[in-house]
A and B are shown apart, each in its own frame.
Chain A
Amino acid sequence: MIDTIAPLVGTVLQESSPAITGPGAAALAVGLAALGSGYAERGIGSAAVGAIAEDDSLFGQGLILTVLPETLVILALVVVFVV
């Protein structure tokens, strides 16, 4: 067991290529940003649906406020092009 781990650790720590490559890290960044905006939209969305249930005319505003956190994902996409 240890025999097999030792060369593996050697590869990860000493070889020139990192554990997470540049594109990999960018993908992670986008994914985490999407997770964050999803959580933010959870609260806003349920409040917006509540408000729309009381007053139909709030549909437009509710929709806009609900998707506002989506900008987080768009900003995170920039990282993909930088890498």
Chain B
Amino acid sequence: MSLYGTASGGRSSNYEYVIARVRSRRGSLFDDDDYRKLVRMGTSEIARFMEETEYETEMNALGARYSGSDLVEYALNRNLAKHFDDLLRWSEGALYDYVARYLRKFDAWNVKTVIRGLYAGAESADVEDDLIRAGEFSETRIDQLLAASSIEEVVESLDDTIFGDSLAEAYEVYEAQDVLVPLENAVDRAFYETLLDGLPSNPERDSPTGLYIQFLRTEVDFRNLRNALRLARSGADTDPAEYYIDGGKLFDEQSLAQLATNVDGLVTAVRESTYGSDLDSALSDLEDAGSLVEFERALDAALLEYADTLSNRYPLSVCPVLSYVLAKEREVDNIRAIARGREAGLAPEEIEQELVIL
């Protein structure tokens, strides 16, 4: 019975329960109208608007300590963490494994934040506010990370996690050169490598696992594409292979290395790939205006749309959960962009261009 496939824990997955809850939450995210209202508000109005929605608890908890767009941002982070923790709490069996794999993204984010904080000598209270406690790390592990007084301690305390080996390797490079890039790269690569690790490499198309793998491959492809475009654009003399993430189906290491040196070749390669039709208008924009920001936003929108398609094609799978995770992340990004944009005095039209709305 593949539908209720069991994980190593032996418990069967409870897709029905989780998906009913997730769909309901997906439906209550902000819609176009809310965004249209939000971009015309001042920072304090945005805060008041948010107090009357979903974000009430977080806004009240943090309201005494922060104000303005800081308040909005920290409330968003906390709310995001609360919702994603719920996902992990609900799901059982194989479903838990699938969700946790994806949410480790936030573990990676937290590790990077802690390392950056230590490097810059920031107060641990400040670092704590920037963490998003949504990943698989337990509270005690996060407290342990926050209490660490040097980067070496952080690397040691992560010894038994997926980041352990690659961080230990990168730490030597860091000690020799005193730059953070190798450490941050090590964290990202460890995340993306475990993302596809241990999943069947050639699953049935249209089985839940198959769709899940398809989605993860798309994500890896888009990440590679983004890196390649940034490298091509900046003209930096870096070896693109260093940033290549394994597991996608669009590029292999060599073709990426060749294409990263010329933008036109890259655009043609993407247009001829399976993503061509989804990204067509975005690619034309990129060729005409050469705006990388807009193209990256189009990538986000395409990924979100793809996740939605998958979740409709196979309702009893992990796909609706992923589509919710992505949509929630976009909402948080959008509100943050609005709050920061309004604070910086941007016009509503300018901010609207920055939002990813489907």
Contact = CB atoms under 8 A, between A and B. Distances in A.
A, B assembled together? yes
Interface of A: 43-44, 46-51, 53-55
Given A47-B17, A50-B17, A54-B20, 19 more contacts: A43-B16, A44-B16, A46-B14, A46-B17, A46-B20, A47-B16, A47-B19, A47-B20, A49-B20, A50-B16, A50-B18, A50-B19, A50-B21, A50-B24, A51-B20, A53-B21, A54-B24, A54-B25, A55-B24
Contacts of A47: 16-17, 19-20
A46 B18 CA distance: 9
Interface of B: 14, 16-21, 24-25
A54 B21 contact: yes
A55 B26 CA distance: 13
Contacts of A43: 16
Nearest to B21: A50
Which of A44, A50, A54: most chain B CB closer than 10 A? A50
Summarize B's interface: helix, strand, loop or mixed. helix
A37 B19 CA distance: 21
A46 B24 CA distance: 14
Contacts, number: 29
A15 B16 CA distance: 51
B92 to A, nearest CB: 11
Contacts of A44: 16
Nearest to A43: B16
Contacts of A53: 21
14 contacts: A46-B16, A47-B17, A47-B19, A50-B16, A50-B17, A50-B19, A50-B20, A51-B20, A51-B21, A51-B24, A53-B21, A54-B20, A54-B21, A54-B24
Contacts of B16: 43-44, 46-47, 50
Nearest to B90: A50
A51 B19 CA distance: 9
Contacts of B17: 46-47, 49-50
A2 B156 CA distance: 73
Contacts of B25: 54
A47 B21 CA distance: 8
4 tightest A-B contacts by CB?
A: A50-B20, A54-B24, A47-B16, A47-B20
Contacts of A51: 20-21, 24
Nearest to A49: B17
A52 B126 CA distance: 38
A53 B19 CA distance: 12
A8 B103 CA distance: 64
Contacts of B24: 50-51, 54-55
Contacts of A50: 16-21, 24
Nearest to B22: A50
A53 B23 CA distance: 12
A53 B14 CA distance: 15
Nearest to A52: B20
A46 B17 CA distance: 5
B277 to A, nearest CB: 34
Contacts of A48: 20
A23 B57 CA distance: 61
B86 to A, nearest CB: 10
